[in-house]
Amino acid sequence: MRGLLVAAVAGLLVGCGFHLRGSSVAADVASAYVREGANVTIGPELNRLLSQSHVKLLDSTAGAAVVIDLREQQQHTRTLSYTDRATTAESELSLQVRFALIDAAGQVLIDDRWARATRTYLVDTNNLVGSNQQQQLMSRELEGDVAQQIIRSLNAATRAKAN
């Protein structure tokens, strides 16, 4: 009886689209070319996720089923709260990337859309090295989140075009 209950709950979670944090999204295209604008740093993470999805990454637009144009990237850190000694107690890290998707025929699938992600973390003034490492980890997580958003947008755009 207990096993049946666990199986039912697992089935419901899978059916509703629940995914564990950090789980990747599979891409629905055969090949892609990722074009990075100046100061865009999420390209390697996006390429890694596309490779995991068995997407052939090309060195040029020739032969690419889709071109992912990473146009602009902005990353900001802002203080959310202060300690009683006027030092930062909590910070928010945000990353946003403006991108466009273009198919093999040159038709724009998505033009100038922003993918955004934010994380909040506590700043330990007694362990600034640890807080800095935590910020670096959060930055990598944000890159992964934004790259997954771009892949989900790619999947939605290619499905909409197919219909």
User: Distance between CA 91 and CA 87 in Å, rounded?
Assistant: 11
pTM of the entire predicted model: 0.79
Strands (E), the chain: 31-36, 56-57, 66-82, 88-103, 108-122
pLDDT, one tens digit per residue, over 70-120 is 999 999 999 889 888 888 888 899 999 999 999 999 999 999 999 999 998
Q: 162 versus 40: which is more confidently predicted?
A: 40
pLDDT at 5 (0 to 100): 57
Closest Cα partner for 88 from 60, 124, 46? 124
What is the rounded radius of gyration, in angstroms, for the C-alpha atoms of the chain? 19
The dihedral formed by the CA atoms of 33, 36, 41 and 47, expressed in degrees to the nearest 10: 0
Q: Please say if the pLDDT value at position 148 is more than 60.
A: yes
Q: For residue 13, name the pLDDT band (cuts at 50, 70, 90).
A: low
pLDDT at 79 (0 to 100): 87
SS3 99: strand
> Domain residue spans in the chain?
24-162
CATH for the 24-162 domain, from 3.40.50.970, 3.40.720.10, 3.40.50.2000, 3.30.160.150: 3.30.160.150
The secondary structure element, H or E, covering residue 11 is helix 2-15
Say if CB 27 and CB 47 are below 8 A apart. no
Question: 46 has which bridge partners?
Answer: none
* CA-based torsion, 51, 55, 60, 61: positive or negative: negative
pLDDT, one tens digit per residue, over 25-55 is 778 899 999 999 999 999 999 999 999 999 9
